[in-house]
Each structure stands twice: as structure tokens, then as C-alpha cells.
Structure 1
Amino acid sequence: MSTTNQPPLLLRPSQLKSLLDDKHDVAVLDATWFMPNSPRNGCEEFLNKRIPGARFLDLDKVASSHPLGLKHMMPSGRVFADACESFGINPSSHVVIYDTHGVFSSPRALFMFRSFGHSNSSVLDGGLPMWESESYPLESGPLSEVPKTKYPTPEFNDQSIRNYDQIVKNASLDPTVAELVLDARSRGRYLGADPEPRPGLSSGHIPNSLSLPFSVFMNQKPGNRDTPLFFLKNVPEIQKALEEAVGQEKASQIIKGEQPVITSCGSGMTAGILWLGLRLLGADRIALYDESWTGYAMRTESKIVKD
């Protein structure tokens, strides 16, 4: 179970505004990410509208290279530390992460910070849309320089990530001892009925995994340019969604830490939303399959399940 003295996973816009007004050591990062087939560009939109003093965290660049060419894979400790230094982040800084979708890609960035031991980190609840709707200030144009800091190479929590070999081994175990894989993609993609957004990639699911679309943790609203906005539901609603997906007994085991979980999705992005939702419920035995379905389905030896 999560301890009560942990920094908040979610921070309301009013709380961030107070921290900024009081001149706390706060680093604000925009971690907006769009699907590869989207015409939108997160960095360009960041330069046009952002929270004052924010920096842009490109999750595809602050990442490690991958033999299959996959993007936004977990970076090395040094790559992470170099990025922190360029953003003016100290090991003690309170890092607050947002995105322009509401809450979509920011949980993945928070997962990265927490996995490298930077526990003083939070997601801005509602992201930039909520900040703007509450009439807090915005800025645009070129960025001002920030003093570069020194950030020691952090130690990575290797229990936070699962790789392909571990996923295959886990699928072969008796369900009573295996980690429970929760798939954040849509139900149609999980069942193999709907195509993957990445051309040429088969749909289907990992053996013995369960479908838990990230959208069931969210309230969805219309956004600009035909892109929906996503806002996290409250904790009781998230728990209800989990119980409907896995049953009350299994949900209770997850929340109590009796059932370890692996979150997965298309490429490791929205798996972060499941991770955040489960953490908000108090669960702490949660890993993320970094490659997720894209890496799994690209490997010829993979066994793909449909239906």
C-alpha cells in the first residue's frame, strides 16, 4: 500500500499556482505526446501556449534506443539526468507534469520520474485544459534560459519495467502465481476485431491478459481539432471500473498488494494511465511492459490471442 507521506500523485491547478507564487523549487514540464499518425506537434503547440516557466519534455527523445525502433522507451539513468539538468531540475525539485489532452501522456512521464527515484513529482490534474479553464496565466513565444543544474545519475528501479522475455515467461505460469497483465487498449483491439493504428501490426492480445481500456478510468469531453480531452475519474469511480473488469475479489487483491500487476497498451504510453489509476487506489505492486503490444506483436515468435 502507498504511504500517506508520499508526495501527491495528482496536484490541482490551484495547488500548483500556490507553489509557483510562493517561489518553491518547482519545475513544470509539458509532456504532451501525439500518436505518430497525428498531424499535431506537441513542441510547436507548447511554444504557442504553455504554463509560465514550463519546459517541454519530449518523451520520444528522452528515451533509450530500441532494437525494433520503438519510441519513448525508458531512458538510461544518464539520459534522464541530462534531461533534468537541461530543464533546471534538482534532485529535490518538485516536478509537476501536464499535457494538453487533459491527462493522457503525463502519467507516463510521472512513471519515468518515479522509477528513477524522483518521488517529489506529480501530474497536474486536468492538465493544461483545466489550468486554462480556471483562468490561470499562460505564456507563449521563445523560452527564457534556465540555469543548468547538476543531477547525479540516478539508480533505476528495475522492478518497475517488464521486458518481452519476462512477459512470455509470465504468460506460461499458473494464473495463481503469475503477475496479472492489464491491457489499456480498446476492447476491439484487444479482441483482434479492430485494427491497430500502426500499419501492418496485428491486433489481439497477450495470453492470459485482461482488457482494461484506459478510457474506463477517464471522463471524456470534446476538445479542439477533433481531439478528445481526458480527465481522471475520482477514486471510487476508478475502483468501480477496476472491479467491473477483474471482479471485486481480484480488485481487492490488487489494491492490497496481494496481486502484482503489469500494465500494457499499444506502445507503453496509456499503460501509464492504468499505473496512475491503480496507484491512486493504493496499489503499489505495479510494473509496466515498456514495449507493450507493439513490441510483442512485432516479434515473429509471439503467440497472438484473438477473441
Structure 2
Amino acid sequence: MALFRTSIRVFHSSTRKMTTSSVTRAPFLLSPNQVSELTNSGHTHSVSLLDSTWFMPNSPRNAKDEFLSKRIRGAQFLDLDEVASSHELGLKHMMPDSQTFARACEKLGISPSTHVIIYDSHGVFSSPRALFMFRSFGHENSSIIDGGLPRWVDEGHPLDTAAPILPEPGTYGLPNLKEGAIKNYDDIVANSQHDPATNGHVELVLDARPKGRYTGTDPEPRPGLSSGHIPHSYSLTFNLFLQKHKTKTGQEYSTFLPPSEIKAALDNAVGTAEANQIINGQRPVVTSCGSGMTAGVLWLGLQLLGVKQVGLYDESWTGYSMRPTSQIQKTS
């Protein structure tokens, strides 16, 4: 399947058609069958599979150990907590600087032309955050497996259980981070001082956390953090962009909803008029969550709707609420 060249044919999942582009840009989503066809096409040197599984801090599971026990054949492990910048509050998996990103790519055998295909063991959870990182550094030739490892296994594709083989190091120059991709605390505070209902230039902040944490009725999973939300932000739990499935063995996993249903979830969260402004590029938008992980799910869902400019509040609620001057709203 010749999807990716200097002048390439790009697969569009919504229309299932191929079009020609002068930019090496991969589809955001690939099915296991499409990935299998790519990796078995004789051009595996140009494809890099990455397991980006990440678990919440209170989970007993260990992503790296699970990767070592089983993985998609040829995959490497992308540790999002390791490929990260330091943060003044000690937060993990923050967006890396250009040098950290480039050195990680080289260690993983990735060059700027490599088609990077990312997955996680939830189905869709942490892989969009990893994709956000690659796309924000201009690596457009990157995708996720929609349904991740559980769907891969359920559809009968092979796994590796032997010790992973390290790739030959790649060469990767220092990339530029796209302007506006990452928002910091000062950006969010300045933005939250204005009501988006009366100021058309204010960025809409979409909060991916569960509704109870947004309203302040449920506790945060990280000890000592207040629950509640950033002033004038909207609740849009990341699961509302996803659909659940069960494997033949009963394991649950998630995939993205069709674009029409993603649009309906956005309409319900912010109103149809605001949603249309977001899609038409008339209203800037920022995604947030607990620590910048599931904000990536909202980011990717908006990309599937054709929204070009979506910022992500990297430290998200954890960083925001740890600061003593933060204004916190609660909803009964």
C-alpha cells in the first residue's frame, strides 16, 4: 500500500478515498489491517511502530513491563515520562524541547521521513498525546492505531514475546515546535480573565477530565489536589469522543467515534454555534485534562473534524491547581 512518498497518496478514513498531496502527511488513524499491510509491504525500514502506553499514577500496571512481555512485532517503547522536559513543579510527561525529542527519535531509529505508527494497550488513551508530540514538531508522517493493541490482537495479528531488538540509531535534526501548540499557565490565566461568551477572541478551554472532577464533586486521583475547573472552561470528558468495544476474550478497548458523532459531542459541550466557530477556525481552542495526557484525545478528535489550530495546556489541571494564585471554580 503506497501511502507515503514525497508526493504521496493519502488515505482518508472518512471517505475511504486516496488523494495526492505534496506533503508527507499520514492519516491520523489507521486500522490494524492497514498497519499490517504497510509493515508487510517490503518497506518496513520506513515504518516505526511505537508503544506509547501510559497508566495513571494510581494504577498497579507497569507499561514498560507489559511491553516487554508482548508487543506488536518490531515495536519499540516510547516512554512519555522519559521523553519530556523538566517542569518547575516536578510534573511528568511535559512536552520535550527540540533536542530531547530529536535525540529520542534517533535512539528509536526514526528519521524525519519515517512513518511513525503509535499505539497503546487501552485502545485509545495515551497514543493521541504521543501523536500530538510528533505532529507539533512537524512530523506529519505519523498516525495512531485506532483501537491499539487490543484491537490488533482481536483481529488476529501476530505479537512478539521475545526480547525486543534495538533499532539502528537514526539521524534527526532539531525540529521547530509549531507556534501555539503548547499553552502555559500564564496563557491560561490571561485567557480565563475574559468570558468567551462576550469576547470572540478568547480561546475556548475544553477540559477532558471526568465531569465530577470538573464540577468539584469528585476527588482528583493525585493526592492533595483540589478538584474544580479553570474559569470559563467547558467540560468535555475525553470518553465522549470514543466508543467502547469488547474483544473475543471480553477485554474492553476504545476507538474514535465517527466524525459526525464527535461533532455532536462537541455541540453538546459548547453549543452548536460555538462548535461551528471552532471548526471554521473562527474560535481558537485549547484542550486540557489532569496532566496533559487525555487532552490529546480531544486534540485528535478535533483534528478529525478538520480543526487546524488546537493548543494543549501542557501541565493542565495538576499544574494549574498546584499554584497558590489559581482561581478555581466549582459547580454544584
- TM bin (shorter chain): over 0.9
Identity of matched residues, %? 59
Q: Which amino acid aligns with 1:197?
A: P
Q: Structure 2 vs 1, CA of residues 131 and 227 (structure 1 numbering), >3 Å: closer, same or farther?
A: closer
Give the CA deviation at 1:28: 0.3
Give the CA deviation at 1:221: 4.3
Give the CA deviation at 1:158: 3.3
Q: CA RMSD in A?
A: 1.8
1:160-239 matched pairs, under 5 angstroms:
160-175=181-196, 176-221=200-245, 228-239=252-263
Pick 1 or 2: higher relative contact order, CA cutoff 8 A, min separation 6: 1
Structure ranking higher in helix proportion:
1
- Indicate conservation of the 8 Å contact 1:214/1:271, yes or no: yes
Q: Aligned to 2:73, which of 35, 44, 52?
A: 52
Displacement over 6 Å in runs of 4+ = none
Question: What is the total number of aligned residue pairs between the two structures?
Answer: 305
2:283 corresponds to 1:259: yes
2:114 corresponds to 1:63: no
1:219 match: secondary structure: strand
Give the CA deviation at 1:222: 6.0
* Distance (Å, rounded) in 2 between the aligned partners of 1:44 and 1:215: 26
Give the CA deviation at 1:244: 1.1
Q: Which consecutive unaligned segments of at least 5 residues does structure 2 have?
A: 1-11, 13-18
**What's the counterpart of residue 4 of structure 2?**
none
Query: Which deviations, in whole Å up to 9, do the C-alpha atoms of 1:79-133 show, x marking residues without a partner?
Result: 1111111111110000000000001000000000001110100011110111111
1:167 match: secondary structure: helix
Query: Which deviations, in whole Å up to 9, do the C-alpha atoms of 1:24-68 show, x marking residues without a partner?
Result: 310000000001111100011011111000000000000001110
Q: Which amino acid aligns with 2:145?
A: L
**What's the counterpart of residue 15 of structure 2?**
none
- Indicate conservation of the 8 Å contact 2:286/2:310, yes or no: yes
Which moves more between the two structures, 57-66 or 136-145? 136-145
- Indicate conservation of the 8 Å contact 1:97/1:109, yes or no: yes
1:158 match: secondary structure: coil
* Distance (Å, rounded) in 1 between the aligned partners of 2:216 and 2:77: 35
Give the CA deviation at 1:160: 0.3
2:45 corresponds to 1:21: no
Give the CA deviation at 1:230: 2.2
- Indicate conservation of the 8 Å contact 2:230/2:327, yes or no: yes
Give the CA deviation at 1:145: 2.7
Give the CA deviation at 1:229: 2.5
* Structure-2-length-normalised TM-score: 0.89
**What's the counterpart of residue 6 of structure 2?**
none
* Distance (Å, rounded) in 2 between the aligned partners of 1:208 and 1:81: 36
**What's the counterpart of residue 243 of structure 1?**
267
1:267-286 matched pairs, under 5 angstroms:
267-286=291-310
Q: Which amino acid aligns with 1:79?
A: T
- Indicate conservation of the 8 Å contact 1:259/1:285, yes or no: no
Which moves more between the two structures, 102-111 or 153-162? 153-162
Q: Structure 2 vs 1, CA of residues 41 and 259 (structure 1 numbering), >3 Å: closer, same or farther?
A: same
